[in-house]
Amino acid sequence: MKQRRGVAAVALPWLLAALLGFLGRPAAAAPAARDAALLVTVAQATPALVAALARDHDLRMLDRHALAALELDVVEFAVAPGADPQAMAAALAVDPRVEAAQVMRHHRVAGRVPRMPVKDPYYDLQMRTERRAVETLVRHASGRGVRVAVIDTGIDMAHPDLAGQITEAINFAGGDPATIPAEFHGTAVAGLIVARPGNGIGIHGLAADAELFALRACWEPHYAIGLCSTDTLARALDYAIDVRARIINLSLAGPEDPLLERLVSRAIELGAVVIGAVGEEPGQAFPTSIPGVIAVEQSDPPANPVAGARLAVPGLQLLTTVPDGRYDFVSGPSFAAAHASGVAAVMLDLQPHLGAAELVDWLQRVHGNPVDP
């Protein structure tokens, strides 16, 4: 695969300690955490400016990179021990040299998956939906030429139903940008969309001929638990905008996040269809509280804010690809969102010039639920 541009590797040892605590491991097993991180956007992150901001606000620079979609540079700073990150962000926000500042947020992939791998997860029956409209669509089109950006955990590129199905894969979550670990959640999402049909094995992806961009912005510190950060998601969103992805699949949920909201809004402004999972836990407003995002849920009414159109899509016991060349059933809004992205890609194959509003209307007809929340 040809990499379009370099991506800096980002180490997050301070986050690992928090993750180990989240997973219930003893505190003594966690590595030393680094200080809380702030993300600061500036017009141009020159070395002199970064040094001056660090000196004036008692910060330590960790990383910096550009966000081409917003025509801004992002600088990641560590806060001094004992300092209040929120107060530091507020102080930076009023600094005339700074465009915006916020505390690093963390998001989680959305969806319930098995706690442990099953011994023989291959099944002959692929459960999707009983609606005939979907069956009719996939008989007439396959998503050919439609770019779909899946921002998620890593995808098993060697899976027999996914090998050769991924147009480009980039790792924004640390390590070698060209090395993609085979992780559960991303592999399951990708399989629902582009699993290779007609090869005599496995399942049939809804939009098997779509151009899928696997953008790893989340990682799995423990089996089937996916976590993401503001910075990794911002890099992936920026890249999806850069390659002009027609559909951006966000099978994840988290708190309100100003930088990510700006990037998602920019993607929509440029014509992308952004499909997001409605978070199942309180406080998971991102991404479905952003106007223009198509919110995919399994419950009615939704548990978290929905600013625009919403879909109630079947997301229970969907058979899909999982790492090590296997298959398993998955459930949750993550996988319902992937289903909706696959259907949307098929529709755009049939009618490439379909506008976002018209596409939403089509999706609502297919899934039989109202456009407005």
Return the higher-pLDDT residue of 312 and 329: 329
Mind giving me the DSSP string for 174-227?
SS-TT-----HHHHHHHHHHHPPPSSSSS---TTTTSEEEEEE-EEEEETTEEE
- Rounded Cα distance, 246 and 86, in Å: 35
Task: Tell me: pLDDT of 131 over 60.
Answer: no
Is the whole-model pTM more than 0.85? no
Spatial contact of 156 and 182, defined as CB atoms under 8 Å apart: yes
Measured between alpha carbons, how far is 109 from 253 in angstroms, rounded to an integer? 6
- Whether 26 has a pLDDT exceeding 90, the answer reads no
Q: Tell me the pLDDT tens digit for each residue of 170-212.
A: 999 988 888 899 999 999 999 999 998 878 788 888 899 999 9
Whether pLDDT at 316 is above 60 = yes
Task: Please state, in angstroms and rounded to a whole number, the distance separating the CA atoms of residues 261 and 46.
Answer: 25
Q: Confidence class of residue 9 from pLDDT cuts 50, 70 and 90? A: very low
Query: What structural domains does the chain harbor?
Result: 18-104 (3.30.70), 108-367 (3.40.50.200)
**Cα angle at 361 between 300 and 210, to 5 degrees?**
100
Residue with more model confidence, 357 or 214: 214
| Measured distance CA(89)–CA(102) in Å, rounded | 5
Residue 280 near residue 303, CB atoms below 8 Å: yes
Q: What is the pLDDT of residues 27-61, one digit of tens each?
A: 333 323 344 799 999 999 999 999 999 999 999 99
Please say if the pLDDT value at position 371 is more than 60. Answer: no
Q: Encoding tokens for residue 230? A: 């503001």
86-100, 267-281, 344-358: range with lowest mean pLDDT: 344-358
In the prediction, which pLDDT does 244 show?
97
